[in-house]
A = this chain, B = another copy of it.
Amino acid sequence: MSLLNGITISIGDELLSGKTVDSNNAFISTVFSRVGIKISKKLIIGDVNENIKKALNWSLAEADVVTITGGLGPTHDDITKQALCEFFGVELKTHPEILESLKTRFSKRGFEFPKSNASQAEYPANAEILHNSVGTAQGMYFVHDGSHLFVMPGVPAEMRAITNEQIIPRLRDMTGAIQESIDIHSIGMPESQLYEVTKPVLDEYKGAKVAYLPKHFVVTIRVSYDSEEVGENAEKLAEIYARLSQQLPENIYGRNDESLSSVVGAELLKRQATVATAESCTGGLIASMITDISGSSDYFNTGFVTYANETKMAVLGVQEETLMHGAVSEETVAEMLSGTLERSGSDYAIAVSGVAGPTGGTEEKPVGTVYIGVAGNTRQYIKRFQFGSHRVLNKQLSAFTALNLLRLLIRDEL
């Protein structure tokens, strides 16, 4: 497999004004790396003909593969196509089959075809068309002095479709690269510590490339292989996941597209069990995360947001004497748990009470103090956590931690 050098160019005034953060290039970097293209530079420029031609000039001289995204829609006056024509010294050419399909598209929806849209069927004469399966602006492919230029619309869904369906297969043919990978998700352990404890296992797998990707409170370990054939390293990847999960059952909760909510949901479904929530400082966030999963009505029936002490008493039956110890206490969370199980009829319960901040802290219970409890399986587990000073982050961290504790309780691993 040969490694090629790539440069990405994004075109669009909105990307320069600071109003839009460009996410296309992060996508291109990621998927290109799997087929052996390493992006060495990214350039963002406005809808300016002269700047586009300058950028084409130096990037094609410097890189094996260049991508351009943006500047192809009808509102952009097709400035990218014009610049490409001038750069290559060619004219625009109408593609009758594209024009036909544009007209069909409009008539299907009962609209007349606007003349101005005919330009969507015109492309530089030397372009190979890259079919856009989700929109009307087609991609383009050029070869110039041994370098490869791919041009796409900037709309993320269209850019992704053209990249995945048209560009990646071509690049794979060039580099002969097949990358197989697994994303292993962990929570509750800092990246540096996770690195230390997983390194000895991962070092046993020669040829495996490992990256640690922290995002919010989750650190994902991405393990990948350069394979000669599809599936060649699938067993090794599954084995790595199994070994790391066994080594760190408290932290590693899922892989690839799985989220904490989806994993908890799957564990409940497997046991035909249900869960209910009682939330004070998280204010409904845990229930909302659980119900982000399609099909969650099969295992989630009831959530209580008991923000006030009166509500904790009236809705969950927490005793007034208990609240004298403080609403943020082990005792209160214990009664929130039992009240939730009793009043919802669910098999499992989550309860959370804490000081989300930024105000309301005391010396004994500073901002970020959170009691998290889970109950079910005739067991109950409550722990005090000390999080930070940022209100919304405290809510999120409490919710992630609570869902992970429930996962462990359900699996009898707590």
Q: List the interface of chain A (C-beta within 8 A of B).
A: 15-23, 25-30, 33, 38-46, 48, 51, 211, 213, 277, 279, 281-288, 290-292, 294-297, 300-308, 310-311, 314-315, 343-345, 356-359, 391-392, 395
Contact = CB atoms under 8 A, between A and B. Distances in A.
Chain A at the B interface: SS class: mixed
Contact of A43 (B19, B30, B41): B41
Given A42-B43, A284-B291, A308 B302 contact: yes
Contacts of A17: 29-30, 33, 39
Nearest to A344: B311
26 contacts: A16-B39, A16-B41, A16-B42, A17-B29, A17-B33, A18-B29, A18-B33, A19-B30, A19-B211, A19-B213, A20-B26, A41-B46, A42-B43, A43-B44, A279-B284, A279-B287, A283-B292, A284-B284, A288-B288, A291-B395, A294-B391, A295-B359, A296-B307, A300-B307, A303-B304, A310-B345
Given A16-B39, A39-B16, A391-B294, A287 B301 contact: no
B303 A283 contact: yes
Contacts of A295: 359
Contact of A44 (B41, B283, B284): B41
A224 B152 CA distance: 34
Contact of A392 (B33, B51, B292): B292
Contacts of A305: 277, 284, 287, 291, 302-305
A291 B308 CA distance: 12
Q: Which of A287, A297, A392 has the most CB of B within 10 A?
A: A287
A301 B308 contact: yes
Contact of A301 (B29, B48, B303, B310): B310
Nearest to A282: B288
Contact of A27 (B18, B286, B300): B18
Contact of A26 (B18, B310, B345): B18
Given A308-B302, A311-B302, A283 B294 contact: no
B29 A16 contact: yes
A21 B275 CA distance: 36
Contact of A284 (B40, B42, B285, B357): B285
A313 to B, nearest CB: 11
Given A283-B292, A294-B359, 14 more contacts: A18-B25, A21-B26, A25-B44, A42-B44, A42-B45, A43-B43, A277-B305, A281-B291, A282-B288, A291-B305, A292-B392, A301-B308, A305-B305, A311-B344
A361 B97 CA distance: 38
A345 B309 CA distance: 13
Contacts of A303: 283-284, 303-305, 307
Contacts of A283: 287-288, 290-292, 296, 300, 303
B304 A291 contact: no
A126 to B, nearest CB: 27
A345 B28 CA distance: 54
A391 B292 contact: yes
Contacts of A40: 16, 45-46, 48, 51
A357 B293 CA distance: 10
Given A27-B18, A40-B16, A307 B315 contact: no
Contacts of A44: 25, 41-44
A95 to B, nearest CB: 30
A306 to B, nearest CB: 7
